[in-house]
Amino acid sequence: MTHKGFTLWLTGMSGAGKSTIAEQLMAGFHAEQAKVELLDGDIVRTNLSQGLGFSREDRDTNVRRIGFVCEILSRNGVIAVVAAISPYRATRDEVKAKIENFVEVYVECPVDVLASRDVKGLYKKALAGDMANFTGISDPYEPPENPDVVIHSDTETLSESVDRIWRELERRELITRATDLPA
């Protein structure tokens, strides 16, 4: 596989499947010896945004910092994969405008499905009114208006989702593979 530098940005609510998809993509990129970095919530909170909270201002600062790192990676031929709630449309669009090759993936999942999965027990708390600033419940989530890929993580398999993202990257000639996709 050859590839250009680009940013693949996964946005969506907590528990929708961003990190799972990102890790699956990373495995594929690593198998192809691509130059690639994952910027997910934990990595970013530890290394770039320690001390920031969940106000709109702090969330925006966090997203802009991730965007800055993506920008300098992408323009030097490196793939940046982001898994971050990044709830505000205007801030995502601001980052998008700065990065030449930017692929926005909306990982969509209905709130009732998220609340029934509730892997971390957070939706229950938020729905009970015990969690301020919880995206999608007590804080806004603004879906992208024109995402490049929409993933419906409640109705499609992980491999279907990942496969659609690969195809979008190929279609835009951000990656070029010598052989066809495995069936």
- Report CA Rg, the chain: 16
Angle (nearest 5°) at CA 87 between 151 and 117: 55
Using the rule CB under 8 A, is 69 a contact of its own copies? yes
Using the rule CB under 8 A, is 56 a contact of its own copies? no
C-beta closer to its own copies: residue 51 or 121: 51
Using the rule CB under 8 A, is 84 a contact of its own copies? no
SS3 of residue 3 by DSSP: strand
Q: Dihedrals φ, ψ of 12, to 5°?
A: 160, 170
State the angle between helix axes of 56-74 and 89-98 in degrees (0 to 180), rounded to the nearest 10. 20
Using the rule CB under 8 A, is 47 a contact of its own copies? yes
For residues 152-171, which are near its own copies according to CB under 8 A? none
Distance (Å, rounded) from C-alpha 81 to C-alpha 107? 14
| 74 given a catalytic annotation | no
Using the rule CB under 8 A, is 172 a contact of its own copies? no
Active site residues: 86
Q: Which residues bind its own copies (CB under 8 A)?
A: 35-37, 47-48, 50-51, 61, 64-65, 68-69, 72-73, 76-78
